[in-house]
A = this chain, B = another copy of it.
Amino acid sequence: MEKDGEKGAGAKRADDFSKWYVDVLTRSGFIDYSDVSGAMVLRPAAYFAWQKISEVVDKKFRESGIENVYFPLFIPERFLKMEQEHFEGFMPEVAWVTEAGNSKLNERLAVRPTSEAIMYPSYSKWVRSWRDLPIRYNQWNNVVRWEFKHPMPFIRTREFLWNEGHSAFATEEEARKEKDEIIKIYVDVLREYLALPGIVGLKSEHEKFAGAVESYSIEHIMPDGWAIQGPDFHIDGQNFSKPFDIKFLDREGKTAHAWQNTFAITTREIGIMIATHGDDRGLVMPPKLAYVQIVIVPIYKDESKDRIMAYARKIEKELKGRYRVVLDKRDTYSPGFKFNEWELKGVPVRIEVGPKDVEADKAVVVRRDTLEKRGVQVESISKEMDKLMEDINVKLYEKASAFLKRSIHEVDDYREFKRVLDGDRGFVSAQWCGSTECEAKVKEETGAKITNVPITERKLEKGRCIYCGKDAKARANFARSY
């Protein structure tokens, strides 16, 4: 097999972001294409990242009282039709099972694009009294959305992995309280594990989830200046509980419908993470999600081999158990080749050991994010790694935050608005009257949609809508978006 290092990272990130993105993902062995159009293969390092993300989100969910369940993959068409807006939103991208074995089915079965329509008929059975609430259930599963746009690994794939939380509360107030708790979990995990910042805010009426009352999202910026939506939280009010008949006797003995929310984080975040941190040498993995965290590369001539390998093994032993370490023993490749290969894979830390290091009880430590090299005493190497891993995550997060901040352009004039979108790109923060008409016109004329109204910006500012000039309701972020 052609070793990954031979190929190099491929296209330059600044020249052709899309090509660079696919090149680093495939050449590093992180993913591969399959012959199913719009689907991809998560190879071990990629699946590992998702497994870690889901483990830590799952832990935080459980601490907050959420329970896991599993509902069927297939949704009968008549269920999907029960909430009209929801159905119309998903209909254009549903994959349908129509045959099984040699039989035609009587009714088409949707491969779940999301599970409201299969979960809520059960909720309706389970809920009778206010004592049965809240229900705070979550699923970890795969969903299919048959998009016809150009596929892009992680970012736009016809199948993806996610969590889908579906809760039901007795009162609107309780339901609304869940929002901040869940968004905090997502924001924390993105920072601590993916080193990813984002903008938390309210989606516009037009852009909200099909069936929701309000949708909140975490919006990211990609290196090419296009925005991309991350995890979301939808306040569904009674929009589903009414058609799906999730009702109960409240404390006063009156019949009421439940108040619901849904929320999700998907494998898309992995793509955003790769795009954000990577460089022309390849992936740059945040340490907590890196499949290999440390690679040890011995540098020797024939006569020094035994001594240096023994020394390298000692370091490996010291770090093993605490870190995911690989000692690259391959004889057939040069150290330089190995450096390239492990850089392409985004391993956070490389430890080089050569004859001089052995004599001085040292090793050369190279961090992947900055490529900075430093001599370290072997006796303190474990402690050094602890600090370094933490520091790499912090630095990646800070760098991404600085880029996100630079990508937000506050603008009060429509010509300037268009100029920024065509020039610097990123988010244009502009006053908005709140009307869907202005939003649609801006989209039509500039290609930019409202990503969200940042939570921090929702207080009413005195100002005029960037499009119609009427009184503004808030500052919204507009962007061309994936």
Stretch of A97-105, A192-200, A342-350 at the chain-chain interface: A97-105
Minimal beta-carbon separation of A188 from chain B (angstroms): 22
Contacts A36-B118, A146-B101; is A41 near B68 (CB within 8 Å)? Answer: no
Most chain B beta carbons < 10 A, residue from A46, A100, A144: A100
A68 and B51 within 8 A (CB): yes
- Across the interface, which residues of B come within 8 angstroms of A126, CB to CB? 1, 32
Contacts A69-B44, A100-B93; is A75 near B36 (CB within 8 Å)? Answer: yes
B35 and A79 within 8 A (CB): yes
Chain A 2-41: CB-based contact to B (< 8 A → 1; otherwise 0): 1000000000000000000000000000001011100111
Which label, helix, strand, loop or mixed, suits the secondary structure of the A interface?
mixed
Contacts A32-B125, A129-B1; is A44 near B67 (CB within 8 Å)? Answer: yes
A residues 109-145 near B (Cβ < 8 Å) are 109, 111, 118, 121-122, 125-129, 131-132, 137, 141-142, 144
The answer to whether A91 has its CB under 8 Å from any CB of chain B is yes
- Across the interface, which residues of B come within 8 angstroms of A482, CB to CB? none
Interface size on A, residues (CB 8 A): 61
The answer to whether A96 has its CB under 8 Å from any CB of chain B is yes
Chain A 67-106: CB-based contact to B (< 8 A → 1; otherwise 0): 1111111111001000000000001111111111110000
- Across the interface, which residues of B come within 8 angstroms of A98, CB to CB? 96-99
Most chain B beta carbons < 10 A, residue from A50, A72, A141, A161: A72
A contact residues vs B (CB 8 Å cutoff): 1-2, 32, 34-36, 39-44, 46-48, 50-51, 67-76, 79, 91-102, 108-109, 111, 118, 121-122, 125-129, 131-132, 137, 141-142, 144, 146, 148, 159, 161
Some 23 contacts from A to B, beta carbons below 8 A apart, are A1-B128, A1-B132, A34-B71, A36-B72, A36-B74, A41-B71, A41-B72, A42-B71, A43-B69, A44-B68, A44-B137, A46-B70, A47-B70, A51-B68, A70-B161, A74-B95, A74-B159, A91-B101, A93-B100, A94-B100, A95-B100, A95-B109, A96-B98
